[in-house]
Amino acid sequence: MLDAASIVFGERGYTGTTTDAVAVAAGVSQAYIVRTFGSKEALFAETAGRALSRIEAVFRQAAAPDSSAGDTVQERLGRAYVDLVADRGILLTVMHLFTLGHHDTFGSLARDGFLSIYRLLRDEIGLTPQEAEGFLAKGMLINTMLGLRLPDVVTTEPDAGELIACVLEDATEEVVTLTTGHRPLGSAARNSN
């Protein structure tokens, strides 16, 4: 049920999501959703909290240099971010949470979650504030492009493809395939050799 909620909240945001839509996605009744979590607010709080925890866990794991040496922390963080993209819903749910700063209930939750990630990057992973800023900025740009569904139009909008490739570099194909299901432009020619 939380998985379904994550996907639906990620697509439509908090106010745009009905408990019925989550119920349909989860394959249960709307009444059951509401009774299980108490309210729509509580459901979103739990969904968003889980998404934040997952992001932090993935970053923490990327910080541990247990993988084959030779790559920098930044590179490991970048690959970790691509893994997060695969988990459809998490990044977009958090992005929607970040637009709720004015909300009575979720405002502080959103700020705490954001600052918690910043502290994780700075204190545990050891990035400088400038490095953390750059990483966060790139992440916000990726989240925005995901919210725009820019990968969907990569075949019809060459500029979208250029920008995505510029941001994601080697991970472009993987992300486009993950988020659209179809084969990205030009990959066939490159792979068929």
Partner DNA sequence: CCTTGTTGTAATCAACTGAACACAAGTCAC
Partner DNA sequence: GTGACTTGTGTTCAGTTGATTACAACAAGG
Backbone angles phi, psi at 64, to 5 degrees: -70, 120
* Residue 98 contacts residue 114 (beta carbons within 8 Å): yes
Chain positions 117 to 176 lying near its own copies, rule: CB under 8 A, are: 118-119, 129-130, 132-134, 136-138, 140-141, 143-150, 152-153, 157, 159-160, 162-163, 166-167
Tokens at residue 66, please? 């247990």
101 binds, among DNA, its own copies, none (CB under 5 to 8 A by kind): its own copies
Question: What type of residue is 79?
Answer: R
39 binds DNA (CB under 7 A): yes
Window of 34-42, 46-54, 63-71, 185-193 that interacts with DNA by CB under 7 A: 34-42
Applying CB under 7 A, does 105 fall inside the site for DNA?
A: no
Q: Which residue has the tokens 């998490």?
A: 90
Question: CA 63, 5, 139 angle in degrees (round to 5)?
Answer: 35
* 20 binds DNA per the rule CB under 7 A: yes
How many angstroms from the chain centroid is the CA of residue 28? Answer: 25
How far apart, in whole angstroms, are the C-alpha atoms of residue 107 and residue 101? 4
| CA-derived radius of gyration, the chain | 18
Tell me, residue by residue from 65 to 94, as one string, x for binding to its own copies by CB under 8 A and - for no binding. ---------------------------x--
Q: Which amino acid is at 125?
A: I
Which residue in the set 3, 24, 40, 54 belongs to the binding site for DNA (CB under 7 A)?
40
Which of DNA, its own copies, none binds 60 (CB below 5-8 Å, type-dependent)?
Answer: none
Name residues contacting its own copies, limited to 11-50 (CB under 8 A): 11-16
Residues of this chain that interact with DNA (CB under 7 A) are 17-20, 27-32, 34-35, 39-41
